Chains A and B, each alone.
Chain A
Amino acid sequence: MIYTASPFAIGIFVAFVLAVLVLSSYFAKKTQSSKGYYAAGGTIHWAVNGIAFAGDYLSAASFLGICGMIAFDGYDGFLYSIGYLAGWVVALFVVAEPLKRFGKYTFTDALNYKFNSKGIMLTAAISTLVVSVCYLIPQMVGAGDLVTPLLGLPHYMGVVLVGVIVIFIVATAGMTSTTYVQFIKGGLLIVLSTVLTIGILNKGISTQPYEGYHQFKSIATTLTNEEVSAVSDSSYTIAGAFKDKSNHFVKLQKDGVATWWQVATTDGNTVLKEALSMTKTADGKTLYNGEPKEAKKFFQVGHVSKLIVDGKEVDETGAMGPFEFLATVDKAEIVRFAKVAIKDGHDKVTIWKQNPTSGKDIMRPGLKFKVDKGATFMSRLNFLSLMLALFLGTAALPHILIRYYTVPSPKDARKSTIVAIGSIGFFYILTLFMGLGAMTTGVLDMESTNMSAPLLAKYFGVTLFSCICALAFATVLGTVSGLIVAASGAVAHDLMSGFLGIEMTDKGQVKAGKIAAVVVGCIAIILGILCKGMNVSFLVGLAFAVAASANLPAITMLLFWKKTTSKGIAASIVVGIITSLGIILLSPSTYADVYKLPSTQAPIPLDNPGIISIPLGYLTLIVVSLLTQKKEKGAAA
């Protein structure tokens, strides 16, 4: 899709970045000690820390990813909101206070508080690095995606820009500036999402989303031997066709422009329905609906085809309350677009065909995660596994865990978690309205699910669009900053000082942390550029699954099982990392999305590893701990 940079948007973006840099420089003067660098001196107020938690947690995946998934797949995207929020219950009731009580700068400290084991230092640091990098890549990729519409810059420039700013933030003032950036961003995100939701409810739903919305044509056709032999509109000529078990398309030519049409039968009559297409020609050109990008023929889509209010079919609803909005979508029929990839000679064609879907199907699980129609045992197991990983992953994410060390006491850790649950929960409720709003307002860019929320904001004017884009960029900045602090702590504090035993002064620890932040930041820039186009949700899911499998068994068993040994913890972390990564790398989704191979060739028929790797982590910890009881007791004596 074509995006045009707006000077106003650039102005807001530049103002925000300057504010962040000034804030970091201000805090840099106050950050001289390692406690100041890694844990903001442990002096952050619980309310500020709570909103900063929200800033850390509501990453690009939450704001851009969930809204986009709801806009494309309905309620199934909202399952992520439910699972991500439920995960905070584990954080509050199980890990918040003990982690604060036993830790210092990193969650490795908490795991190791009674063992002082080199094995735990090494494995927990590796786990922190693996999870942080898995989480960093999608943020950097997301930054590149956002910079294109906002500033008109290429993808790699966005990645470099985020990398440089974040390295500056982290290397100057560490956790203090990161906390305040997250606080501002978290607060603004909730305020602007509320404004957007009020806009959606105030506007209501209409079958004609806006003036100039593309009207999709239908052409009567004649079939001979199940092939299209003639069309009723004589200005079109048949230029090709594609047919397989589930799809039948025809390529029509008009004024030298080729477009793709879906062959569909309605009420016994066969018609051609206009589709969207992107063609990558053999000579390297990319055509959108048969024309170059500049012709702007790749329309924004998503509309309601049938709207029912009080039992009558209407064209628009007017302003609605939140429950009325959801009830109206439930009774409506919405035109979604299904993606189909085909080959046309030497050209690769992606077609998005119209897929009218009942509101009843949109408003409950099943469009993306098969639990009803077409469900199999494996699809149900995948659903169960995803919900398990989302629930258990939150309390094991390193950049979330380190935020418990920025407040003065366990009581403050608890209170800040409750502020986080309230603000994040409120935001996640809004995601359903923003996602459904984007689905029905004709703003969707079929090439990028991630742009659904910013494009919905654009519908309400360039000011809101600019603010939302700058905020989404800030979302990336804040989350990446937190991840880099966590990763630099793992390298400098856990590996260099703890595992390798390198003696460092307090200032030396800060210097090591800053150097580690620069190195991790540079690696993140390189990976962000290399991973352009990779599936963002896939990588975030990977981070959650690895965190839940590697870290959570160690944290919870240490707190609640007295027989836990250091070797049991180290072994469970290793098994958790290897099994979760192994299952993901051999899963059908990875085969299809990453290796570009048929998903049927995947050796493991499961996409979400949690259902296997999390219990395996617990089992490993129990077995190894029982086997090493005498040894560790002997050593302790």
Chain B
Amino acid sequence: MSHGPSTQWEEDKASDYKSKLGMKMFIFYVLVYAGFIIINLVNPKAMGLIVFAGVNLACVYGFGLIILAIIMGLVYNYKCTRKENELNK
């Protein structure tokens, strides 16, 4: 049985760019996520500090991680699409 891809498509010249960009953005997010874990392990009381509109650091950081993932996803898609359009004409 063939183990080839389900759909055929042309060579993607933007592949290397997307891969490198993805890795950079992944590392950036890992650092922010690691910061959340480290604060919890090293100084858990800091998570209770009120930092924005009466809301504590735990909630702001938690929401921030979720919203950051969405924003980074949109930025990644924008940059990848632009590069694909530029290189795969």
Contact = CB atoms under 8 A, between A and B. Distances in A.
Interface of A: 35, 39, 42, 75, 78-79, 81-82, 85-86, 88-90, 92-94, 97-98, 100-105, 109, 112-113, 116, 323-324, 326-327, 330, 360, 363-366, 371-372, 375, 380, 383-384, 387, 391, 405, 408-411, 414-415, 417-418, 421-422, 425, 428-429, 432, 493, 497-498, 504, 509
B47 A86 contact: no
A371 B77 CA distance: 37
A372 B2 CA distance: 54
A603 B19 CA distance: 43
B54 A89 contact: no
Nearest to B77: A418
A411 B56 CA distance: 39
A366 B41 contact: no
Given A103-B6, A372-B44, A82 B77 contact: no
Given A42-B6, A418-B74, A391 B53 contact: no
Given A85-B69, A383-B41, A94 B23 contact: yes
Contacts of B45: 372
B2 A421 contact: no
A239 B17 CA distance: 76
Given A92-B73, A97-B18, A366-B44, A112 B3 contact: yes
A461 to B, nearest CB: 29
Nearest to B48: A364
Contacts of B66: 81-82, 85, 425, 428-429
Given A364-B48, A414-B80, 13 more contacts: A35-B6, A42-B7, A82-B36, A89-B33, A113-B3, A326-B59, A327-B54, A330-B56, A383-B37, A391-B33, A417-B73, A432-B62, A509-B1
A409 B41 CA distance: 42
10 contacts: A93-B25, A97-B22, A323-B52, A363-B56, A364-B48, A365-B58, A371-B40, A409-B7, A421-B73, A493-B1
A139 B84 CA distance: 40
B49 to A, nearest CB: 9
A343 B18 CA distance: 62
User: Which secondary structure dominates chain A's binding surface?
Assistant: helix
B9 A86 contact: no
Given A81-B66, A421-B69, A364 B22 contact: no
Contacts of A42: 6-7
A408 B7 contact: yes
Interface residues of B, number: 50
Nearest to B78: A418
A409 B63 CA distance: 32
A112 B2 CA distance: 11
A86 B58 contact: no
B7 to A, nearest CB: 5
B70 A75 contact: no
Contact of B59 (A112, A425, A432): A432
A86 B41 contact: no
A477 to B, nearest CB: 25
B65 A82 contact: yes
Contacts of B53: 323-324, 327
A169 B12 CA distance: 36
Interface in B3-20: 3-7, 9, 12, 15, 18-19
Contacts of B48: 360, 363-364
Contacts of A39: 6
A429 B59 CA distance: 10
Contacts of A509: 1
A86 B44 contact: no
Contact of B26 (A89, A112, A380, A408): A89
A89 B18 CA distance: 14
A411 B81 contact: yes
A327 B56 CA distance: 8
A384 B37 contact: yes
A104 B3 contact: yes
A330 B69 contact: no
A425 B67 contact: yes
Contacts of B4: 104, 113
B73 A384 contact: no
A92 B65 CA distance: 15
A326 B54 contact: yes
B29 A86 contact: yes
Contact of A90 (B6, B26, B37, B62): B26
A78 B40 CA distance: 14
The 9 A-B residue pairs with the shortest CB-CB distance in the complex, in nearest-first order? A327-B54, A93-B22, A372-B44, A93-B26, A364-B47, A364-B58, A323-B53, A418-B73, A42-B6
Contact of B70 (A372, A408, A422, A497): A422
Given A85-B69, A86-B69, A90-B26, A102 B5 contact: yes
B76 A93 contact: yes
A371 B33 contact: no
Contacts of A360: 48, 56
Contact of B5 (A90, A103, A380): A103
B34 to A, nearest CB: 9
Nearest to A493: B1
B33 A86 contact: yes
Contacts of B58: 75, 363-365
B89 to A, nearest CB: 15
B3 A330 contact: no
A429 B76 CA distance: 22
Contacts of B77: 414-415, 418
Nearest to B14: A411
A201 to B, nearest CB: 14
Interface centre among A103, A113, A324, A330 (most CB of B within 10 A): A330
Contacts of B36: 82
A234 to B, nearest CB: 45
A105 B69 contact: no
Contact of A104 (B6, B54, B84): B6
